[in-house]
Amino acid sequence: MASTNTNLNGAMRGVVAVGASAGGVEALTHLATGLPEDLPYAVLIALHLPPAAPSVLARILDRNGPLPAEAATDGSELTPGRILVAVPDRHLLVSDHRVILSEGPTENGHRPAINALFRSAALSYGPRAIGILLSGVLDDGVLGLAAIRSRDGTTVVQHPDDALYPSMPINALQAGVVDHQVAAINVGALLAKLADREIEERDMQPDESMELENRIAMGRRFATSFDAEALGPHSGYTCPDCNGSLMSVSENNYRCRVGHAWTADALLKARDDEIENALWVALRSLREKVTLSRRLASQVGPGMLHSRYIELADEAEHAVTVLGKRLSEATAGVGGRGDG
């Protein structure tokens, strides 16, 4: 178990916000192992979690690194040298040097969401925020890194060669929002260097769009007290969660009227899921059509009606074969993209 280090009551230099998805437990374990005992930052970790599943991540990190790690609790004060881990079905956010656990709308289908954590860190800590994006699929966290960078914070990704699932780091690199890329085990050494730098505080213009999204994330699960029209123009797309209209908050960033947030990549994946579900429904209907057509054919004597039923059954069986092949290919493709 990690020992209580002497820095818990020392001066806090800022906050380190860490996000991970598929392959994230391994990456986070390596990161925790390499952290220095006198780390002058509070560390907040959001890993994509199923809403009903218990999480043992805090215990894993506490056992494998020098810093104490625990599940985040609402309202707890941020202190340096301590790791706080998001709990299932709650966004992990920060405000006024305290933790907020929120039931706000899902982002990219996730709660906790990485973008939500990074955005709140950017607004609360500005140049004293460090965002770290580790292994994962799709692009959750990329917009959050951009938010941290826009407030003069520092952004880091796990080197793609070091990540089990490099999509999230690669997407961040391609978006041009990354200051450093390192192996997970070397994050601690980088943080030690960043802690020694001089930080220039400067006046920042308010970012109304970022602040609005942060308020939405901090809201209740079904809160609709925000002005949806202030999010941006209608995108022409619909929300996979509620089928409501999606607004274009920024390029490749969408929200619906009740607050569900989607990036373009996550929205595209959701459409793939919808298509696959529709194909499964079609496959079931076709199999029932085959069974019913052959039963009706057996109930009538030879003739035109019998031939018609057999023809319908044969057509449906051919369609079943085509759809079955398509679904097998889709299932094989999804098997390699699982979330963590």
Q: What residues act catalytically?
A: 21, 48, 140
CB-based contact 101:91 (threshold 8 Å): yes
Whether 62 and 33 have beta carbons less than 8 Å apart is answered as: no
Task: Determine contact, residues 118/15, Cβ cutoff 8 Å.
Answer: no
Percent helix / strand / coil, the chain, rounded to 5:
45, 20, 35
DSSP secondary structure of 235-273: EEEE-TTT-PEEEEEETTEEEETT--EEEHHHHHHHHHH
**CB atoms near residue 234 (< 10 Å):** 12
Q: Which two tokens stand for residue 197?
A: 């730098």
Sequence-distant (≥ 6) Cβ neighbours of residue 303 within 8 angstroms: none
For residues 164 and 24, give the distance between their C-alpha atoms in angstroms, rounded to a whole number.
8
Please give the Cα distance from 301 to 107 (Å, whole number): 59
Which among 1, 73, 3, 4 is positioned nearest to 44, based on CA atoms?
73
Whole-number Å distance between alpha carbons of 18 and 83: 10
**DSSP letters along 84-104, please?**
EEPPTTSEEEEETTEEEEE-P
